[in-house]
Structure 1
Amino acid sequence: MKKLIIASTFLVCLAGYAQQEEPLLTTDVENQKKWVDSIMKNLTIDQKIGQLFMVQAYSNKDKKHQNFIKKMIKQYHIGGLIFMQGTPEKQVKLTNQYQSKSKIPLLIGFDGEWGLNMRLKNTFRYPWNMTLGAVENNTLIELFGKQLGTHCKRVGIHINFAPVVDINTNPKNPIIGSRSFGENKYNVTEKAIAFTKGMQSAGVLANAKHFPGHGDTSTDSHKTLPFLDFDLKRLESIELYPYKQLFDSDLASVMIAHLNVPSLEPKEGVPTSISYKVVTELLKNKMNFKGLIFTDALNMKGAANYAEPGAIDLAAFLAGNDILLIPEDIKEAVKKIKTALENNIFNEARLNQSVRKILLAKYYVGLNNFVPIKEEGIKDDIITSTDKLLYRSLMEEAITLVKNDDATLPIHDLSKTKIAYVKLGDSNHFNFTNTLNKYTQVDVISEDNLTDLLQKLKPYHTVIVGYHKSNETPWKRFKMSEDELIWLQEISKNHKVILDVFASPYALLDIDDFSTIDAVVVSYQNSKVSQEISAQMIFGALEIKGKLPVSIKNIFPEGTGITTPGLLRLSYSIPEDVGMSSKLLAKIDTVTKKVVDSSMAPGGQVLVARYGKVIYHKSFGYHTYNKKQKVRLTDLYDLASVTKILGGLPLIMKSEEMGLFNLNTTLGEILPYLKATNKDTITTKEALSHTGRIKPWIPYYLETIDIIAKTPLKEYYSTIKSKDFSIKVAEDLYLINSYTDSIYKKIAEAPQRTEVGYKYSGLVFYLFKKYIETTFNKKMDALDNEEFYKPLGATTLTYNPLNKFNPSEIVPSEIDNYFRNQTLHGHVHDMGAAMMNGVSGNAGLFGNSNDVAKMMQMYLQGGYYGGKRYFESKTIHKFNHRYYERDSIRRGLGFDKPQLKLEDKVTSKYASANSFGHSGFTGTYTWADPETGLLYVFLSNRVYPTMANNKLGERNIRTDILDLIYEAIEE
């Protein structure tokens, strides 16, 4: 209905063209006019003519070029400069210099369609218009315009030659393409209005281009004069539509294209940019535009081929243009314009008309009170967290799903889906595949020939095909090659295929058959952020919302866009996205550097998330102090006692939820072998909250070694695995099988503590391991993997990691010279867990920070993650409750809880009573807080080379970092 109303309004306007307010007038119009009058009365004819020219300037050229610009200012009194390539710092410096040379402040122009980065190095790059055309939320487009305006204003730019309002109805258009918002005139118009409103609210003039419409051309006006053979009805219906709507929205300026449009200009070969019928009769008179009118660059072949330098400038001015952009020969242009004035080809009133508009514009942008631009701190002002967050928001809204057979996306079941990735295109894919692998194992498969590739892909159920093309400019080639089209079809014959296009949506045009491709995603650009966000969408961490801004033949019409639900998986963003400060979180870097420099640990990983978004994730230091291998985010650490809440407790909670026992069930009831022992009547609640008077730990290994020599006794160990010696405690060291019974016997017979109250004990998790494996008739590690780690996509959470991972992917823990006499590298550090074949409820689990976070986020979300419910919320709450708080016991059931006395540094002083987590002996720690949505993981191997080094714990490093995290919350 809205579009019908707009269309009807436009048809009425075409008949009469309602009056437009003058867009260059300011709120203090009287002062503005006085200033203009004061300037005008003192201008000579030469100075007036000079105001018509905007000359191109570079900040990456030598003194010769700078002297040329200064000559243009001094000798020809030019009115403005359009800056081209260079850097923002150099441009600001030169702008200040040039402004100081000019009697009348210079109007500074710039081509910044997607930001300053269109021309300047070391600046922020926003998405191209085609990408933004997929965004339905136009408030974001307005914010985008405002940010571009803010950047322009900061570096002294007064007019940004944007937005492009060409309606790109021709997929073969070589020069517009991704610079257009799309093919739908309503969508293009709405985006252009929002952008204009945003940019002009920042005090920078917008400029709609390329009038009367460059969208349906197949040639480049930089090289030749494009031909548009459309009648006036078609032009008014399509090409001209956005302009009238923009004029009613106070658009400040328009740029006239170099086009050959016979229906507007019957004289053969006359470019629209120098056509009186187009500029004056159509734009100024019929459409009543009162803003500034610019030619497109007059050095472009579309104009330059028509007439000699100077003559083309005069023709453009006579046509009705106000500012002549990039003249080829200003000396000749000034001469011809002055001669024409003297010969009464035009009068001074016509000259005054343009000059007055130019001066009104200069007042509008503040040049009536010009002060030199600040030359310090430019980078910090034009590359901000606001820009980064807005970029991410735009991409999240833009990425489009155009095909989704059988709800292929988002991928739900990670436990049964073996996934491969294949790259097409000639650009990078690393951020895409790195992000995919944060969700589950996605193998990158590559081969030089199709036959070998298909052979390698046979074991895979799903293949993600990424088509990656250059993100350098929107003019780069995006078409798929014949070989790539064949490969795509062959791969899709026997696999579920997800095609993700990191290029123009027009790249899909050459695909004849989509029937065997299950899902098609258009990610538009091959930027780092686009790759990261698209990967997150594939796994349902983010919803897909975009709408296709152009048609792909009759297969995917413009406006196509399938929305997908979010599955509440972790996503990855920046701190400001969740109300936190990047600057304050950066303090963590200082602390982790101190950890390494002070030999508290060789290295580690830190992850911070809030509201389900990972916003800080860094590794630091090395595997060991020899500094040969840097820690990577994918490396595995021995989690030590963090195993209790990620390995033992999940199965305990699941068993309780299934009704196999309750919190008042005694250990003797669930483990009959404890009947008639001093453990018999201890309830599960007492055991898990460490109030059951169970001994803290038992050093089982001591009776199995020569105490003096500190070497394993032969009756207990073998260096060769055999039927009787199969419990691997370290490399080439196997414990006799019967010793497992000895461990359980020792626990049963261990005397109880005499004192009542709280005392932490890990022995209860040995007991629950026995219960779980007996009850389910399956090994604990297999149960954890099947029930939790595999469906979560937590591929590195594992016991005995050497069975799955290369040693180079595992961080060593301790150099053991008291039991196993070797460096523990992939073998659990905890002696008792090692004697349980590396699998215990108290220790044994390895993993990286990302996968630890998945389990913790699942807890934070009340047992739900990735579209799957692992626990009822009430189960999480039941185990995350202090049952003995009245007795000053802080613990929940299995979960550690915040200190009750401030002098105890268990967690952050800011942590809420509902928060929970656990620490590990090896230097690990994780904590989550439902009230603030925070999640924190710290992994290290502080026990390397020896566990005697506990500076990490003594200095409260892990909890001090958590303090910093809370302090970074800005809400």
Structure 2
Amino acid sequence: MKKELLIIFLMSFVFSVSAQSVDPLRTKDAEAQDAWVDSIIKNMTIDEKIGQLFMLQAYSNKDKKHEDFITDMITKYHIGNLIFMQGTPQKQAVLNNKYQALSKVPLLIGFDGEWGLDMRLKNTYRFPWNMTLGAIRNDSLVKQFGERLGVHCKRLGIHVNFAPVVDINTNPENPIIGNRSFGESKENVTQKAIAFTQGMQSKGVLANAKHFPGHGDTATDSHHTLPVLDFDMARLDSIELYPYKKIFDARIASVMTAHLSIPSLESNPTLPTSLSKNVVTTLLQERLGFLGLIITDGLNMKGAANYATSAEINLAAIQAGNDLLLIPHDVSGTVNLIKKAIELKTLTVERLEFSVRKILKAKYWAGLNNYKPVVLENLDEDLNTINDELLHRELVKNSLTVVKNIHNDIPLRNLEKRKIAYVNLGDDPGDVFVNMLQNYTKVDVISDKNLDRIINKLKPYNLVIVGFHKSNKNPWKSYKFTNKELVWLQEIAREKNIILDVFASPYSLLQVKTFTNIDGIIVSYQNSKLAQELSAQLIFGAFSAKGKLPVSIKKDFNEGYGLVTSNLSRFEYSIPEDVHLSSIKLAAIDKVADTILKEKMAPGFQVLVARKGKIVFNKSYGYHTDEKKIKVKNSDVYDLASLTKILASLPLIMKAEEDQKIPLTASLRDILPSFGNSNKDTVTVKEILAHIGRLKAWIPFYKATQDSVTGENSPKFYRKKKTSVYKIKVAENLYIKQSYKDSIYKYIKEADQRKRKGYKYSDLGYYLFKEVLEKKYEKPLNTLVDEEFYQSLGANRTTYLPLKKFPKSQIVPSEKDDYFRNQLLIGNVHDMGAAMLGGVAGHAGLFANANDVAKIMQMYLQKGFYGGERYLKAETIDKFNHRYYSDKKDRRGLGFDKPQLNPKVKATCGCVSDESFGHSGFTGTYTWADPKSEIVYVFLSNRTYPSMTNNGLVKTNMRTKIQQIIQDAIID
């Protein structure tokens, strides 16, 4: 007895806080609330009052026997509250409505949804765990999370969500809290908990602070045993109880009492804190002044269930000061025992009604005075919205934490100097992570069961990204490295420059003995799809790292530590609504795609849409050919045809203009002296780029090498095998005489100029630009553009001569040629003139996928800047993206195509700004960028398959119809 008095005295001394001045359950219309509560309680029998104390488990994935049991509990024992467990939202909604209809007083519905309804229900949204949220330093995002979860709960008829967890997780070995905690800092945990609470309660759903008085420093799981916290009063007051004091001031509506043994609070070591009057009444209600609803933790948990019989435990919980019994066993026995206690005056009716009144107030607070059944229509859609996805992205982006960056490799710059490998550790392959990394540049996956072989395979690489991936199924899954993985990590780090990306609890880093050789470390917290995608984007500088560690890692990295990294203005990969485009409207692209495929306008194609620096639609349709053997993938490369002009030649011409090697005012004879005495000698670079230099549209050079009667390729010019004389590869088993290149330029030089002045699109000038560029820079065109642009842009899927780089299975065929090369053209350029130059030309020859085309167009859109590098001056972009001859009815800029001046011409949809620019290609390719809308659009196809006479795609303007859909999808 003396010991108990001492405990109470110490508690009174330590916890000198004023009582909570505001009842969190009291509504603005308090008089109406009191009247409603009074009207119900005065008509209740003692059995009905006792029934309000119970919150039973209800499942939506069990059989009729379980449903009958719940029905019986409601009708026979007047159960006032349910907590729904596993199942589906549709079935839960049906059962909710059924059970509510049976109850005389509306049921208070509880739910355990710490990271979303997904914690219990299938087909619902999953947000990040608290440990992930603890890394965020923008608490308004956590408040938004609370709001979204409140909306979900309200939609499903849930009135109290048992969240947030406010435990301070100071014990890394805690088996039950861990990832469920916001971290080890009492301030950070408290701020996050308050933000979450304010968000969720603003939507009319009661929040619940758990697990009082603090479960963060336990070494055992209260589901299985009674954990012991052997701390003195001062420690409990400064750490465990800190968040409760603050969150009570923020008017949290309810608290969950934990099953713990805390000798400094309760002298009986076998009595759980949830059943202790010293804890629930003296400490929680009297000393801390909490006036809200007090709910036990699950009374089926061994931490409580081992104490006594179920009925005795339930009675003890009420006598201790709890209002609601969560998941009680033996309801009938408990009812009888409570009645007996009232008879014996060990429990008064006033005490019973005190809790019943609070429960009814909570029901009024949650809107149950105006109960309405859950609407079943569109339920799944309402619980999985675009807004949830957008918020989830922001939460993950803001959580990603860089804790080491010794060489400033995060974000990765100078991609032309990188040879990158990926090595996987953990129990998940990290495919999502790797696929996203490969959107930025070439990343090779290196794997083997033997460490020595791994080390040997890694020799050619100068950077290794190590992904540690652990199960994301639930927060209790093991997050630890195996001993083998720890050895591999250190050995790889000893040999190579590495970035370690941890897709697991930050506590996993506690196992790493030394970080000396690990150059970069990112903590991504979870192995979710979104965490993998966004972490890869962070590595390449699509956005900055902002997260801070919510826990400390030994003495190496303190809680609250995290480096801020640079945003390099590389593409981010997101969803349409993130850039104010409508997913629903963009879905109309699929209908156009169906028409293209059905009408055989092309066997397959890629469509990409980016806005505001974010790729939000990147989809492949159909197959490589009409044989439908190989489906088109986003990584497959297409023959770009005339897109080569603006994606290869033009950036080099712009660079040469900046370098004063090719001035726009220069004449052809100035830059190519061999044309000095030709009829083209005074044509300027500017005129050629604007297609106003009176050059012929094209010359069918190949026809001059064929028999005029049979149409067959003349043996004078061709051989089937490469020789010292016939060494320019035209196609498979077809080589042209080396000297014929001179003939091509001779034909161009001697060709008549068009008599009619004005605009006429021509390929011929780009044959000449190739010659000029190669002479000025003393490198082949393909090497030059690759070194100057593609390598550093990370455009590793963009190349001339793709057969030297990619397997045929990744190259889309362009045509079944029966007029020149007499074969299926796959990896060999479709354009005849470019083919006769060996596949590398200024006007054609480039192959790429839509993702890479978009990178180059985005670089233009960003005025010559991309990936942290300046490729071209902003004024250079503006100079070339300008019409100089519109008075001559020429819509073109310099190299760039521009929107039509004549409405009858369908160069664009007619819906883009005059500042926009792009180009189209003969094989069915198209790309366009608009500085005003900030949209980049790419369409790649092989409409020339099986024959270039297949003109349906062009005649029906399908490419610009898709452009119109994109424009119409803007929801700014």
Q: In the alignment, what sits opposite 1:716? A: 717
Note if 1:532 corresponds to 2:533: yes
Distance (whole Å) between structure 1 residues aligned to residue 380 and residue 730 of structure 2: 55
1:759-804 Cα offsets, whole Å, 9 max, x none, are 1001110010010111111100000100001111100110110011
1:797-816, aligned counterparts within 5 Å? Answer: 797-816=798-817
Q: CA deviation at 1:904?
A: 1.7
Task: Check whether the contact 2:829–2:835 (CA below 8 A) recurs between aligned residues.
Answer: yes
1:543-558, aligned counterparts within 5 Å? Answer: 543-558=544-559
Distance (whole Å) between structure 2 residues aligned to residue 653 and residue 470 of structure 1: 50
Note if 1:215 corresponds to 2:255: no
Q: Secondary structure at the match of 1:798?
A: coil
Q: Secondary structure at the match of 1:706?
A: coil
Distance (whole Å) between structure 1 residues aligned to residue 780 and residue 882 of structure 2: 29
Q: CA deviation at 1:662?
A: 1.9
Q: Secondary structure at the match of 1:406?
A: coil
Q: In the alignment, what sits opposite 2:8? A: none
Task: Check whether the contact 1:299–1:326 (CA below 8 A) recurs between aligned residues.
Answer: yes
Distance (whole Å) between structure 1 residues aligned to residue 552 and residue 779 of structure 2: 55
Q: In the alignment, what sits opposite 2:479? A: 478
Note if 1:97 corresponds to 2:98: yes
Task: Check whether the contact 1:502–1:524 (CA below 8 A) recurs between aligned residues.
Answer: yes
Q: In the alignment, what sits opposite 1:895? A: 896
Q: CA deviation at 1:711?
A: 2.3
Distance (whole Å) between structure 2 residues aligned to residue 597 and residue 956 of structure 1: 16
Q: CA deviation at 1:11?
A: 13
Distance (whole Å) between structure 2 residues aligned to residue 415 and residue 393 of structure 1: 31
1:244-259, aligned counterparts within 5 Å? Answer: 244-259=245-260
Task: Check whether the contact 2:499–2:519 (CA below 8 A) recurs between aligned residues.
Answer: yes
TM-score scaled by structure 2?
0.98
Distance (whole Å) between structure 1 residues aligned to residue 907 and residue 823 of structure 2: 32
Q: In the alignment, what sits opposite 1:155? A: 156
Distance (whole Å) between structure 2 residues aligned to residue 502 and residue 801 of structure 1: 35
Q: CA deviation at 1:12?
A: 12
TM-score scaled by structure 1?
0.98
Q: Secondary structure at the match of 1:788?
A: helix
Q: CA deviation at 1:703?
A: 1.1
1:610-621, aligned counterparts within 5 Å? Answer: 610-621=611-622
Q: In the alignment, what sits opposite 1:170? A: 171
Q: Secondary structure at the match of 2:971?
A: coil
Task: Check whether the contact 1:711–1:821 (CA below 8 A) recurs between aligned residues.
Answer: no
Choose 914-923 or 362-371, whichever is displaced more: 362-371
1:919/1:632 CA distance change after superposition, 3 Å: same
Distance (whole Å) between structure 2 residues aligned to residue 432 and residue 11 of structure 1: 54
Q: In the alignment, what sits opposite 1:636? A: 637
Q: Secondary structure at the match of 2:727?
A: strand
Note if 1:502 corresponds to 2:490: no
The amino acid that maps onto 2:117 is L
1:939-962 Cα offsets, whole Å, 9 max, x none, are 010100001111111111111111
Task: Check whether the contact 1:815–1:946 (CA below 8 A) recurs between aligned residues.
Answer: yes
Task: Check whether the contact 2:653–2:662 (CA below 8 A) recurs between aligned residues.
Answer: no
Q: CA deviation at 1:710?
A: 3.3
1:435-834, aligned counterparts within 5 Å? Answer: 435-834=436-835
Q: CA deviation at 1:38?
A: 0.6
Distance (whole Å) between structure 2 residues aligned to residue 878 and residue 93 of structure 1: 65
Q: Secondary structure at the match of 1:640?
A: coil
1:328-365 Cα offsets, whole Å, 9 max, x none, are 21111111111111211111111111001111111111
Moved over 6 A (4+): 10-13
Distance (whole Å) between structure 2 residues aligned to residue 820 and residue 913 of structure 1: 41
Q: Secondary structure at the match of 1:15?
A: coil
Q: In the alignment, what sits opposite 1:6? A: none
Q: In the alignment, what sits opposite 1:229? A: 230
Q: Secondary structure at the match of 2:464?
A: strand
Distance (whole Å) between structure 2 residues aligned to residue 927 and residue 558 of structure 1: 47
Q: CA deviation at 1:626?
A: 1.0
State, as a whole percentage, how many aligned pairs show the same letter. Answer: 60
Distance (whole Å) between structure 2 residues aligned to residue 783 and residue 440 of structure 1: 18
1:36-59 Cα offsets, whole Å, 9 max, x none, are 111011100000000000000000
Q: CA deviation at 1:19?
A: 3.1
Distance (whole Å) between structure 1 residues aligned to residue 548 and residue 797 of structure 2: 37
1:241/1:818 CA distance change after superposition, 3 Å: same
Task: Check whether the contact 2:725–2:738 (CA below 8 A) recurs between aligned residues.
Answer: yes
1:792-825 Cα offsets, whole Å, 9 max, x none, are 1100110110011100000000000000000000
Q: In the alignment, what sits opposite 2:71? A: 70
Q: CA deviation at 1:726?
A: 1.1
Distance (whole Å) between structure 2 residues aligned to residue 369 and residue 202 of structure 1: 16
The amino acid that maps onto 1:523 is S
Q: In the alignment, what sits opposite 2:3? A: none
Q: In the alignment, what sits opposite 1:7? A: none
Q: CA deviation at 1:427?
A: 1.5
1:324-403, aligned counterparts within 5 Å? Answer: 324-403=325-404
Q: Secondary structure at the match of 2:581?
A: coil
Q: How many residues align?
A: 962
1:493-529 Cα offsets, whole Å, 9 max, x none, are 1110100000000000010110000001000000000
1:459-499 Cα offsets, whole Å, 9 max, x none, are 11100000000000000001101000000000011110100
Unpaired runs of 5+ residues, structure 2, are 1-10
1:280-333 Cα offsets, whole Å, 9 max, x none, are 000011111010000000000000000111000000000000000001211111
Q: In the alignment, what sits opposite 2:271? A: 270
Note if 1:293 corresponds to 2:294: yes
Q: Secondary structure at the match of 1:805?
A: coil
Unpaired runs of 5+ residues, structure 1, are 1-9
Distance (whole Å) between structure 2 residues aligned to residue 77 and residue 11 of structure 1: 39
Distance (whole Å) between structure 1 residues aligned to residue 273 and residue 284 of structure 2: 11
Task: Check whether the contact 1:500–1:521 (CA below 8 A) recurs between aligned residues.
Answer: yes
The amino acid that maps onto 1:633 is N
The amino acid that maps onto 2:158 is I
Q: In the alignment, what sits opposite 1:429? A: 430
Q: Secondary structure at the match of 2:372?
A: coil
Distance (whole Å) between structure 2 residues aligned to residue 903 and residue 216 of structure 1: 74
Q: In the alignment, what sits opposite 1:86? A: 87
Distance (whole Å) between structure 1 residues aligned to residue 17 and residue 703 of structure 2: 99
Distance (whole Å) between structure 1 residues aligned to residue 429 and residue 95 of structure 2: 36
Q: Secondary structure at the match of 1:907?
A: coil
1:707/1:31 CA distance change after superposition, 3 Å: farther
Distance (whole Å) between structure 1 residues aligned to residue 388 and residue 14 of structure 2: 38
Distance (whole Å) between structure 2 residues aligned to residue 864 and residue 27 of structure 1: 55
Distance (whole Å) between structure 2 residues aligned to residue 675 and residue 756 of structure 1: 21
Q: Secondary structure at the match of 2:490?
A: helix
Task: Check whether the contact 1:110–1:161 (CA below 8 A) recurs between aligned residues.
Answer: yes
Distance (whole Å) between structure 2 residues aligned to residue 391 and residue 591 of structure 1: 31
Task: Check whether the contact 1:20–1:247 (CA below 8 A) recurs between aligned residues.
Answer: no
Distance (whole Å) between structure 2 residues aligned to residue 661 and residue 799 of structure 1: 23
Q: CA deviation at 1:709?
A: 3.4
The amino acid that maps onto 2:456 is Q
Task: Check whether the contact 1:671–1:771 (CA below 8 A) recurs between aligned residues.
Answer: yes
Q: CA deviation at 1:705?
A: 1.6
1:158/1:150 CA distance change after superposition, 3 Å: same
Distance (whole Å) between structure 2 residues aligned to residue 811 and residue 654 of structure 1: 31
Distance (whole Å) between structure 2 residues aligned to residue 798 and residue 724 of structure 1: 26
Note if 1:835 corresponds to 2:817: no
Distance (whole Å) between structure 2 residues aligned to residue 684 and residue 330 of structure 1: 91
Q: CA deviation at 1:384?
A: 0.6
Distance (whole Å) between structure 1 residues aligned to residue 461 and residue 807 of structure 2: 22
1:539/1:821 CA distance change after superposition, 3 Å: same
Task: Check whether the contact 1:717–1:733 (CA below 8 A) recurs between aligned residues.
Answer: yes
Q: CA deviation at 1:30?
A: 1.3
